[in-house]
Amino acid sequence: MDDILARLRRLESILEIQHVMFTYAECVDLASFDDLGALFAHGTLGASGSGGAMRGHEQIRDFYAATNKVHGDGTLRTRHLSTNAIIQIDPSGDLATARSYFVVLQATDEVPLQPIVAGRYHDTFHVVDGGWCFADRLIFVDQIGDMHDHLSFDLRTDPVPDVAGMKHGAATVE
């Protein structure tokens, strides 16, 4: 019976972690930057080659608000698709790691529906106040398409902007 309960807890944990992963994608697509930041209230977010990580709700909220272009409908006009999640639960039951792929599709008035970026997430999760949340997310960008209608900087050539001192306010597209 104990083995069945342990297996059930492990499966519940995997589903809860997937929920956090998919909520991240939904928050980005909907430009729900405050909700996105809340996912990292007890965690960090970084990108390979960026030289640092952002920490906490406000810093991550402000970064996304300052660097993502919000369109007239109040969204980024994107769909972040997360796939191939490989989730491993630590025997302690309160730590986990995950690796997954992502593809971002976008369609705007200027850009037809197309993939604009693809890569991988390497995540660490921990339990805080009884629920799973991000401890760390590291983003690896492997392929870049036409992102001019998505970010306020060129991901191919510009360094990732430093969020220190950024004011909260979304970049908008007229």
pLDDT at residue number 162: 61
pLDDT at residue number 120: 98
pLDDT at residue number 170: 43
CATH, residue 48: 3.10.450.50
Q: How far apart are CA 69 and CA 76, in angstroms?
A: 6
Domain range holding 30?
Answer: 2-172
pLDDT at residue number 165: 45
| pLDDT, one tens digit for every residue, the chain (174 residues) | 779 999 999 999 999 999 999 999 999 999 999 999 999 999 999 988 776 789 999 999 999 999 999 999 999 999 999 999 999 999 999 999 999 999 999 999 988 999 999 999 999 999 999 999 999 999 999 999 998 888 766 666 655 666 554 443 444 443
pLDDT at residue number 159: 59
Q: How far apart are CA 144 and CA 123, in angstroms?
A: 21
pLDDT at residue number 18: 98
Residue type, 83: T
Burial 51-82 (b: 16+ CB within 10 A, else e): eebbbebbbbbbbbbbbbbbbeeeebbbbbeb
Counted domains in the chain: 1
Residue 38, phi then psi, degrees to nearest 5 = -60, -30
